[in-house]
């Protein structure tokens, strides 16, 4: 038999064998991106609709649920290849809960519709064993006032300690301030200013590009760093003479940065007041811890009673300026690239 005929016979046999194999629930290609819609029907009762972007569901594996939640009714596979689950969760699903979606290989786009009218949508990347869908990212409420207060307070503390640029600005002001009275005025002015713009931004009174805010925050550190160098050289500028004025002016811009971080959480409407209050309190608590640490370090250094060389006095200002200058260039570059697209 000729080689081509042999190859053709083998290929035909393989195709016939594959065609006789029973089809599995879904192919790897079919299980692409899953679209999930969670709707709160009544308090503690929900519907969960599932659709695939490619192919259709030919089986209905239920999602992973918190321990207190359960599938109230069996999953129904619809004519369009989707599935619906009726869920019940005593006490309601909250921001502390996570669903695990076992359907999409390429991840899940989830949307939640809550009874208070709040809606949240987000994409979640797949992980081994399923795709985790944290309801906090879908604007779920915290459940109780106490949980909400703790949640947003903790987020405020975490944000201020991770927001290195905000802390460096405060550090720059502290290096300029002389005397307890001036220190209190400076910290109070910064607190009042960023609290004001944080509230205005959260309530949609003020809208400013987050990229522009980040650039100006870096610029504020460059400005304060320049003032530190001038003060050490005997040319006291505005920041050294009236640090609370500069603190308040730039604090307004830093508040917009805090608002961007809080807004990125996707706040549920009923929790906006408590979120605003306790996130701000968390920011203040973290900031005060930082201020006390810096003041204590300065006091400890003074007890050593040694006179630093002139270049050592200038070093903090130059170090702040270099770091902030790099940030400013990077952030302006991002803005330029965005405009040039």
Whether residue 300 has pLDDT greater than 80: yes
Contacts of 116 (CB under 8 A, 6+ apart): 141, 268, 269, 270
Model confidence at 316, pLDDT cuts 50, 70, 90, reads confident
* Complete DSSP assignment for 73-109: EEEEE-TTS-EEEEEE-TT---TT-EEEE-S-TT-EE
Q: What is the DSSP letter of 61?
A: P
- What whole-number percentage of the chain has pLDDT above 90? 26
Q: Which residue has the higher pLDDT, 268 or 45?
A: 45
- Residue 193's alpha-carbon distances to 199, 201, 244, in angstroms, are 10, 12, 10
Question: What CATH number should be reported for the domain whose range is 145-340?
Answer: 1.20.1250
Task: Give the closest residue to 268 by CA, choosing from 161, 162, 151, 154.
Answer: 151
Per-residue model confidence (pLDDT) at position 324: 92
* Exposed e or buried b per residue across 240-253, where buried means at least 16 C-beta atoms within 10 angstroms of its C-beta: beebbebbbebbbb
Whether residue 59 has pLDDT greater than 80: no
Burial of 236 (0-12, 13-18, 19+ CB in 10 A): middle
Alpha-carbon gap, residue 38 to 56, rounded angstroms: 19
Whether residue 257 has pLDDT greater than 70: yes
Is the CA virtual torsion 81, 108, 119, 151 positive or negative?
Answer: positive
Whether residue 13 has pLDDT greater than 80: no
- Phi, psi of 132, rounded to the nearest 5 degrees: -70, 135
Rg (CA), the chain: 29
Is the CA virtual torsion 222, 226, 227, 231 positive or negative?
Answer: positive
Alpha-carbon gap, residue 145 to 160, rounded angstroms: 23
- What whole-number percentage of the chain has pLDDT above 70? 85
pLDDT, tens digit, 9 for 90 and up, residues 212-254: 888 999 999 999 999 888 888 877 777 777 888 888 998 898 8
Alpha-carbon gap, residue 34 to 162, rounded angstroms: 33
Q: What is the DSSP letter of 63?
A: P
Q: Which residue has the higher pLDDT, 106 or 264?
A: 106
Per-residue model confidence (pLDDT) at position 93: 93
Q: Are 322 and 209 in contact (CB under 8 A)?
A: no
Contacts of 193 (CB under 8 A, 6+ apart): 247, 248, 249, 250, 251, 252, 254, 255
Quick one: average pLDDT of 304-313? 71
pLDDT, tens digit, 9 for 90 and up, residues 130-186: 899 999 889 898 888 898 999 999 988 998 888 888 899 989 888 888 778 888 888
Per-residue model confidence (pLDDT) at position 144: 86
Q: Which helix (H) or strand (E) covers residue 71, if one does?
A: strand 70-77
Quick one: average pLDDT of 279-288? 90
Alpha-carbon gap, residue 147 to 270, rounded angstroms: 13
Alpha-carbon gap, residue 143 to 138, rounded angstroms: 14
pLDDT, tens digit, 9 for 90 and up, residues 106-145: 889 999 999 988 889 999 998 888 899 999 889 898 888 8
Q: Which residue has the higher pLDDT, 303 or 79?
A: 303
pLDDT, tens digit, 9 for 90 and up, residues 63-77: 899 999 998 876 666
Quick one: average pLDDT of 40-53? 89
- Residue 262's alpha-carbon distances to 39, 42, 54, 206, 277, in angstroms, are 24, 28, 35, 14, 11
Q: In Å, how far from its chain's centre is CA 218?
A: 20
Q: Taking the model in full, what pTM does it have?
A: 0.74
H helices of the chain, in order, are: 3-20, 145-162, 164-176, 180-202, 210-232, 238-241, 243-263, 272-303, 310-340
**Tokens found for residue 272:** 């906006």
Per-residue model confidence (pLDDT) at position 29: 41
Average pLDDT over the chain, rounded to an integer: 82
Per-residue model confidence (pLDDT) at position 269: 79
Contacts of 291 (CB under 8 A, 6+ apart): 170, 174, 183, 187
Whether residue 15 has pLDDT greater than 80: no
Cα dihedral 274/280/281/282 (nearest 10): 100
């Amino acid at each position: 038999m000729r080689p081509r005929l042999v190859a053709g016979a083998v290929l035909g046999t393989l195709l016939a064998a594959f065609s006789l194999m029973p089809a599995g629930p879904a192919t790897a290609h079919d299980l692409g991106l899953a679209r999930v819609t969670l709707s709160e029907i009544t308090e503690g009762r929900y519907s969960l609709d599932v659709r695939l972007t490619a192919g259709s569901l030919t089986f209905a594996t239920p999602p992973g649920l918190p321990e207190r939640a359960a599938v109230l009714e069996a999953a129904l596979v619809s004519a369009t290849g989707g599935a619906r689950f009726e869920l019940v969760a005593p006490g309601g699903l909250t921001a502390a809960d996570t669903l695990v979606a076992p359907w999409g290989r390429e991840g899940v786009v989830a949307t939640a519709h809550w009874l208070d009218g709040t809606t949240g949508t987000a994409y979640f990347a797949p992980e081994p064993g399923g795709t985790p869908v944290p309801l906090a990212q879908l604007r779920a409420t915290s459940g109780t006032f106490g949980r909400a207060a703790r949640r947003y307070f903790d987020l405020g503390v975490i944000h201020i300690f991770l927001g290195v640029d905000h802390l460096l600005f405060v550090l720059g002001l502290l290096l300029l301030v002389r005397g307890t009275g001036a220190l209190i005025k400076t910290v109070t002015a910064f607190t009042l200013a960023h609290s004001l713009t944080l509230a205005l931004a959260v309530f949609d009174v003020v809208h400013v590009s987050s990229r522009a805010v980040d650039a100006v925050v870096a610029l504020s550190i460059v400005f304060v760093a320049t003032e530190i160098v001038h003060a050490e050289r005997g040319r006291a500028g505005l920041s050294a003479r009236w640090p609370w004025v500069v603190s308040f002016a730039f604090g307004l811009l830093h508040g917009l940065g805090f608002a961007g971080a809080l807004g990125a959480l996707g706040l549920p409407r009923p929790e906006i007041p408590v979120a605003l209050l306790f996130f701000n309190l968390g920011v203040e608590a973290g900031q005060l811890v930082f201020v006390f640490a810096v003041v204590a370090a300065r006091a400890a250094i003074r007890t050593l009673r040694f006179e630093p060389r002139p270049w050592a006095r200038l070093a903090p200002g130059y170090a702040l300026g270099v770091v902030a200058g790099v940030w400013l260039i990077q952030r302006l570059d991002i803005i330029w690239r965005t405009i040039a697209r």
